[in-house]
């Protein structure tokens, strides 16, 4: 029991001194264990883009249960968890300014039975970012496009709304695209040609992130500082897929110096999604 409490305190508690009875081959003794507070957001979560309104609610009907869970974790670790809003469905999300509710999603079981692959989001989608006080978020922009000609307009429109909604207080970092190393081979349907390579990805990524920066400069200029403007990238799914992260870096992915955290440098996994062990996963 003592060991269990120590393990829990080491990874979850705020700065504290813990006095425990510790047994060893030399007999029991009392040890003062100094436990330091982990980094902000040390315990954090990723929520699928299409599920975020369900988890968070909206301004009129906030999900108090979810917020209570986050509050409890924040009490234990010193800060509430950071939340990444993204995943596969961020690359299906098309903005419809006339949609009167947060998200309209259609599941096509031949593409994926787990989540919608045709998605429109409306202005009220972004209300979900306002329901969890003292939480920082990363917002995932649509790079995949889902063969919808509204993709570029969606990027520019949602960049404006997201920056106005999140502001400096709620933003962690941005993310553009999810698992682009699978864009040409996705089992849910390829969204890039088989010839798509690292250079193509980097060219596309730089063009879009510069466009996002232009929108932020116009509508949220106070969010362009080094502490508030940056991206999670390259957000690859693994090391053996169609695109390779080292080649993307070599082709100039961080030319603009905007990559603050390098997510998924090994591979990504989700509980129950793959029939393989979790060793060496992020």
Return the bridge partners of 35, or none. Answer: 16
Contacts of 1 (CB under 8 A, 6+ apart): none
Give the pLDDT of the chain (282 residues) as one tens digit per residue.
Answer: 434 333 333 333 333 333 333 344 434 433 443 445 667 777 889 999 999 999 999 999 999 999 999 999 999 888 999 999 999 999 999 999 999 999 999 999 999 999 999 999 999 999 999 999 999 999 999 999 999 999 999 999 999 999 999 999 999 999 999 999 999 999 999 999 999 999 999 999 999 999 999 999 999 999 999 888 999 988 899 999 999 999 999 999 999 999 986 554 434 555 544 444 433 333
In a domain, 99, yes or no: yes
pLDDT computed for residue 227 by the predictor = 87
In a shared domain, residues 28 and 144:
no
Residues 22 and 114 in one domain: no
CA distances from 113 to 93, 158, 211 (A): 17, 27, 34
User: pTM of the predicted model, to two decimals?
Assistant: 0.82
Secondary structure element (H or E) that encloses residue 11, with its range? helix 2-12
Query: How far apart (Å, rounded) are the C-alpha atoms in residues 47 and 36?
Result: 28
CA 90, 94, 95, 101 torsion-angle sign: negative
**280 domain-assigned:** no
Same domain, 152 and 16: no
154 and 86 co-located in one domain:
yes
Query: Can you give the residue range of the structural domain that contains 15?
Result: 1-37
Same domain, yes or no, for 88 and 157?
yes
> In the prediction, which pLDDT does 235 show?
87
Report the candidate in 155, 103, 151, 97 with the shortest Cα–Cα distance to residue 123. 97
Residue with tokens 């232009």: 214
Q: Report strand pairing: 171-176 vs 137-141.
A: parallel
* Contact (Cβ atoms closer than 8 angstroms) between residue 85 and residue 139: yes
- Indicate whether 96 and 27 sit together in one domain: no
The answer on 187 and 59 residing in a single domain is yes
């Amino acid at each position: 029991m003592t060991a269990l409490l120590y393990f829990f305190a080491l990874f979850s508690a705020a700065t504290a001194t813990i006095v425990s009875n510790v047994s060893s081959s030399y007999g029991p003794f009392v040890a003062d264990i100094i436990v330091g507070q982990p980094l902000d957001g040390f315990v954090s979560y990723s929520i699928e883009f299409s599920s975020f309104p369900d988890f968070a609610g909206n301004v009129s009907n906030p999900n108090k249960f979810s917020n209570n869970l986050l509050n409890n974790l924040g009490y234990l670790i010193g800060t509430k968890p950071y939340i990444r809003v993204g995943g596969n469905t961020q690359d299906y999300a098309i903005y419809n300014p006339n949609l009167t509710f947060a998200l309209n999603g259609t599941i096509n079981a031949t593409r994926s039975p787990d989540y919608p692959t045709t998605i429109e989001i409306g202005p009220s989608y972004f209300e979900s970012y306002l329901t969890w006080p003292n939480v920082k978020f990363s917002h995932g922009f649509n790079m995949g496009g889902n063969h919808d000609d509204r993709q570029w307009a969606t990027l520019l429109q949602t960049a404006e709304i997201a920056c106005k909604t999140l502001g400096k207080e709620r933003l962690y970092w941005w993310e553009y695209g999810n698992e682009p190393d699978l864009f040409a081979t996705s089992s849910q349907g390829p969204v890039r040609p088989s010839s798509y390579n690292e250079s193509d990805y980097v060219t596309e990524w730089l063009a879009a992130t510069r466009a996002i920066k232009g929108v932020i400069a116009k509508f949220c200029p106070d969010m362009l500082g080094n502490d508030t403007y940056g991206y999670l990238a390259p957000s690859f799914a693994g090391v053996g897929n169609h695109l390779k992260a080292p080649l993307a870096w070599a082709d100039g992915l961080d030319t603009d110096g905007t990559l603050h955290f390098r997510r998924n440098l090994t591979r990504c996994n989700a509980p129950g999604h793959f029939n393989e062990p979790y060793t060496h996963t992020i």
